[in-house]
Amino acid sequence: MDIKIITAPLVGGLIGLITNGLAIRMLFRPMKPVYIGKLKLPFTPGLIPKERPRLAKSIGEVISRDLLNKDTLRTTLLSDSMKESMNSKIDEMVAKYSQNEETVSETIEKFVAKNILDEKLDNAKEILSLTITQKAIEQDIGKSIVDYAYEEIMTKTKPVFKSITSTAITSFKQPLANRINTMIDTKSRPLIEKFLEDQAEEILNMPIKEIVVKYQDKIPQIKMYFWNIYEEAITKKLADVLDTVGISEVVTGKINELELPELEIMINELMKKELNALIWLGGLLGAVMGFINVIIDKL
């Protein structure tokens, strides 16, 4: 039996493994140009360090187009779990104010001087609606909603992308929260004024906890109203916020700020299976070519 039938495929396979492993290694290394005197060695730095700006831009475009695009974010932000989160936040507010012994007028006086309140008692509904709206905004409902959305998105994000995705989402969290709060302020006041028109004076002298009990049956309507405002904010304003922030540019900047070893780790984690498959494929092809070479020699 010719020993070459065994050794040739083994040697070919080993060469294939080494060359493919070295080629993949050279994607990242060396991280800086290598010079002999004034002559720069070819293939230095590695392909990825050399092409990092282009790579960063491509990853930024992929994330903004496929992972954090307007449709994906809109679906997440308007999901049933988001609706449940908003309802829970309103329930927390109701539970908090159901223990409040202050009358409505005492609460208003924290925002409006008593003499001004007395002067405008005939138009108390306007002051009361302003106070209620301010109380809602004071709870920063917009931030609570956006924070919850952030957690939802991050739980669905691959670990390798968490750092970059976190940076991208953080860049538009506050602008989006501000838009939601602004719409609550703008749209809630007219509705509250209308609701209070015939009951303002009576309500002013009632403890807040009694109001909560009295209008308990209205809470589902309030929840639906706030959800409608939020839904409108996401539908109409999300695109503007994302365009203003520029997700692709944020991600590109984040990747360009990464140290090269961090970038190497990120890409290796992202493509670990594929890179290992290429190495083993090189070994297999080397073994096959070694075997074929022995067969040809025999012929």
| 211 found inside a domain | yes
Per-chain mean pLDDT for the chain: 75
User: What is the arithmetic mean of pLDDT over 101-121?
Assistant: 65
User: What is the arithmetic mean of pLDDT over 43-68?
Assistant: 79
Q: Are residues 248 and 265 in the same domain?
A: no
pLDDT at residue 79, rounded to an integer: 83
Q: Are residues 263 and 157 in the same domain?
A: no
H/E stretch holding 40: strand 39-40
Q: Are residues 157 and 289 in the same domain?
A: no
Distances (CA, A) of 55 to 52, 77, 259, 294: 5, 29, 14, 43
Confidence of residue 217 (pLDDT cuts 50, 70, 90): confident
Q: Are residues 32 and 126 in the same domain?
A: no
Query: Which pTM does this prediction carry?
Result: 0.50
Q: Are residues 22 and 93 in the same domain?
A: no
The two tokens of residue 68 are 């954090």
The two tokens of residue 36 are 């002999």
Q: Are residues 80 and 127 in the same domain?
A: yes
Model confidence at 280: pLDDT above 80: yes
pLDDT per residue over 21-40, tens digit each?
888 888 788 878 888 878 88
Q: How many CA atoms lie within 13 A of 6 on its CB side?
A: 3
| 60 found inside a domain | no
Q: Are residues 227 and 158 in the same domain?
A: yes
Alpha carbon 254 to its chain's center? 14
Residue 45 per-residue DSSP state: S
Q: Are residues 104 and 248 in the same domain?
A: yes
**For residue 143, what are the contacts with CB-CB under 8 A and spacing of at least 6?**
173, 174, 177, 181
- Per the model's pLDDT, the better-predicted residue between 134 and 71 turns out to be 71
| 209 found inside a domain | yes
Number of domains in the chain: 2
| 200 found inside a domain | yes
pLDDT per residue over 175-198, tens digit each?
777 777 777 767 666 666 555 555
Q: Are residues 41 and 130 in the same domain?
A: no
Q: Are residues 198 and 277 in the same domain?
A: no
User: What is the arithmetic mean of pLDDT over 210-218?
Assistant: 78
Residue type for position 210: E
Domain that holds residue 272: 4-50+259-298
| 263 found inside a domain | yes
Bridge partners of 36?
39
